[in-house]
Copies of this chain bind each other. A is one copy, B any other.
Amino acid sequence: MGTRLTPEQQQQVAAQRGESRPTRRATVPALEEILFEPLAVLDHGFIRVIDYMGDDGAIVQAARVSYGRGTKKTSEDRGLINYLMRHRHTTPFEMCEIKYHVKLPIFVARQWIRHRTANVNEYSARYSILDNEFYLPAPEHMAAQATTNRQGRGEPLSGAAAASVLDLLRKEAERAYHSYAELLNEDMEGSPRDPTRPGLARELARMNLSLNFYTEWYWKTDLHNLLHFLELRADPHAQYEIRAYAEVMLGTLERWVPMTYAAFLDYRKNAALISAKGLAVIRRLIAGEKVEQADSGLSPREWRELMALLAKPEAR
């Protein structure tokens, strides 16, 4: 993973990982283990856990407004966390907080930022110069427009078609960066590369970069809002590129708050919201009645979705 960082960055990460200090706060050894390490996502991106506050016990503590650590027996804590998740008592989950450093393509950042209840500090292309790093989809993720769904991908492109798309995307990104550098007319020290002409202000030059260039940010959120993010973004309906990040974050969630993670899978991620009309259909089916879409009260699309849900034996 470290290969995604420059040697200097690797050194900085290693320095932080080498430090250890005593604290009276709750700690989570499984999360400490990966602290600061870049977890690879896509071709040049990463997720790094930078800091965290609280653990499963902190949720219990807040729910009980207790004076001590809040935990009684593990089984009682688990029961309480399940109860809170099931009944959407969300405020105790807000008592935990996590901070990530993320490197991600701009078009992914544009989807991500729509989650407003988080704190963000992004690398500024007004102040600084962006690196020459852009996202190119792996061939297996290059797909045609879905035909059944106006949003989303259909079949993967054939090898030749994918190669041709890839080639075009790469050439265009390289050209965009080349022109960006020419517009800036700055070397690494900020001196003009070509002293016979002025450079363009950074805040303007960046407009020539395309949406697959990478940006970086610090992103901090509470656990409740993280779960909401993951429910939407680790979902098959989410665009693959943001889902790739959400799935790595799911792994950090499991390390951090394992009881909450398990409850989240059962009561949120793999649960289903069934409409009043859908419940009526289910009741009839259980009673052994034969139900058809036409007399179900459901639209054809809702009917298909419900039938798919009731058919699937595997975890979604």
Contacts and interface: CB of A to CB of B under 8 A. Distances in A.
Given A63-B121, A198-B157, A282-B286, A207 B273 contact: no
A300 B209 CA distance: 37
A274 interface: yes
Interface string A269-285: 01111111111101101
Interface string A94-112: 1101010100011101100
A interface bracket (residues with beta carbon within 8 Å of B): 35 or more
A172 B175 contact: yes
In the complex, the count of this chain's copies comes to: 4
Interface string A186-228: 1000000000011111111011111110001110101000000
A32 to B, nearest CB: 5
Interface in A94-140: 94-95, 97, 99, 101, 105-107, 109-110, 113-114, 116-117, 119-124, 126-127, 135, 137
A296 interface: no
Contact of A143 (B173, B201, B218): B201
B110 A120 contact: no
Contacts of A204: 137, 142-143, 153
Interface string A258-274: 00000001110011111
Given A65-B218, A153-B204, 9 more contacts: A25-B52, A86-B302, A95-B218, A151-B203, A161-B197, A207-B210, A207-B212, A271-B276, A282-B310
